[in-house]
């Protein structure tokens, strides 16, 4: 029987899997098509693609800085240099602000951590039951497995829905606010804009990235990632699928207006709604572990909105397990 089943392949799921694999048998399941969670990379062709979730990393804690420095040496992460512009004149540019990205894509961290681990994608957990001394886990495709221990590294609302009846503390009585956003991927003709990214002061469009500036590929077209504000995402993420063209044009038109970019031709667009893009009002604990029934929960929403918080949460859970 499996020692640990881990649900979620984002930073917290991949981190706890990486540490547990040295001692236990584990499986990772994720409902997405690939690894990385909200740090996923949308491939267009070959090496060409878009970071359509996580923007970049800016390590703060001593522990996470040490970890990312090791990944830089292994050529998994690199510095994202260039001209990062603030369209809000009231915000001063911080030249010391570190921006780290994956060498091939921002899901490179999770790929590294999950190497040689059995991962199952498009595998969404739908039901959990406690049977004798193990967990019975059923997935939406009607497949099921048994595992001695279960770890959920998924957004707060999903973790609450699946496991609240098994959690004996007040964990789910807290109100964690999950933020939503819309992301548009855009490919255009080569333009005169030289900026690597734009931080805006707008109620609709929050941030823009020029993917070519990450120097992962050379291409005769410009690739852009347009991310909405949480304010706009909260209002429209739930219903964007019915009006994809409309919301795509809203963000592109805002991009044109704010940056004065001259677009002659559009070659590709794609829109994605992140229902659980980030979080605010996180918990005051790092993770949850019930040794008696073998249930662990970790994620960025325990400590804050940054990818680093998810990593710290997984590290904390691993310490509790051991």
**Range(s) of the chain covered by CATH 3.50.50.60:** 2-35+114-176+282-321
Beta strands in the chain (DSSP E): 2-7, 26-30, 41-45, 48-51, 77-79, 84-86, 100-102, 118-121, 125-131, 134-139, 144-152, 177-189, 197-199, 205-210, 221-228, 266-280, 288-290, 295-297
Reported CATH class of domain 177-279: alpha beta
**pLDDT confidence of residue 86:** 87
**pLDDT confidence of residue 95:** 62
CB 32 within 8 A of CB 40: yes
CB 17 within 8 A of CB 113: yes
**Range(s) of the chain covered by CATH 3.90.660.10:** 177-279
**Residue 57 carries which DSSP code?**
B
**pLDDT confidence of residue 137:** 98
CA atoms within 13 A on the CB side of 61: 14
- Check if CATH label 3.50.50.60 holds for domain 2-35+114-176+282-321: yes
- Among residues 168, 239, 198, 172, the alpha carbon closest in space to that of 82 is found at 198
Per-position DSSP letters for 200-227, written without gaps between them: ---SSEEEEEEGGGG-S---SEEEEEEE
Nearest-angstrom CA–CA distance, 88 and 101:
24
**pLDDT confidence of residue 204:** 98
**pLDDT confidence of residue 282:** 87
Q: Are strands 295-297 and 144-152 parallel, antiparallel or unpaired?
A: parallel
**pLDDT confidence of residue 280:** 87
**pLDDT confidence of residue 89:** 63
Tell me which residues of the chain have a pLDDT lower than 50.
none
Nearest-angstrom CA–CA distance, 106 and 55:
8
């Amino acid at each position: 029987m499996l020692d640990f089943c881990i649900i979620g392949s984002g930073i917290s799921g991949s981190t706890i899997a990486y540490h547990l694999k040295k001692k236990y048998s584990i499986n990772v399941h994720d409902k997405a098509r690939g690894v990385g969670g909200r740090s996923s990379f949308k491939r267009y062709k070959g090496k060409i693609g878009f970071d359509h979730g996580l923007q970049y990393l800016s390590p703060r804690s001593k522990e996470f800085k040490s970890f990312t420095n090791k990944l830089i040496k292994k050529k998994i992460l690199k510095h994202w240099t260039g001209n990062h512009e603030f369209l809000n004149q009231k915000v001063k540019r911080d030249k010391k602000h570190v921006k780290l990205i994956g060498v091939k894509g921002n899901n490179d961290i999770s790929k590294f951590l999950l190497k040689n681990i059995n991962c199952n994608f498009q595998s969404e957990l739908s039901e959990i039951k406690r049977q004798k001394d193990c967990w019975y886990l059923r997935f939406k495709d009607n497949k099921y497995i048994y595992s001695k221990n279960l770890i959920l590294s998924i957004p707060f609302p999903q973790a609450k829905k699946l496991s609240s009846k098994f959690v004996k503390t007040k964990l789910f009585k807290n109100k964690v606010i999950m933020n939503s956003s819309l992301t548009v991927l855009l490919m255009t003709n080569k333009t005169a804009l030289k900026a690597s990214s734009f931080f805006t002061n707008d109620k609709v469009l929050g941030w823009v990235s020029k993917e070519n500036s990450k120097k992962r590929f050379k291409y005769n077209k410009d690739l852009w990632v347009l991310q909405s504000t949480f304010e706009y995402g909260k209002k429209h993420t739930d219903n964007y699928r019915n009006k994809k063209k409309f919301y795509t044009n809203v963000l592109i038109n805002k991009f044109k207006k704010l940056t004065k970019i001259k677009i002659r031709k559009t070659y590709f667009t794609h829109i994605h709604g992140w229902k659980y893009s980030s979080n605010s009002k996180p918990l005051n604990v790092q993770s949850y572990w019930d040794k008696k029934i073998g249930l662990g929960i970790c994620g960025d929403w325990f400590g804050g909105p940054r990818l680093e918080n998810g990593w710290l949460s997984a590290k904390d859970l691993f310490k509790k397990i051991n």
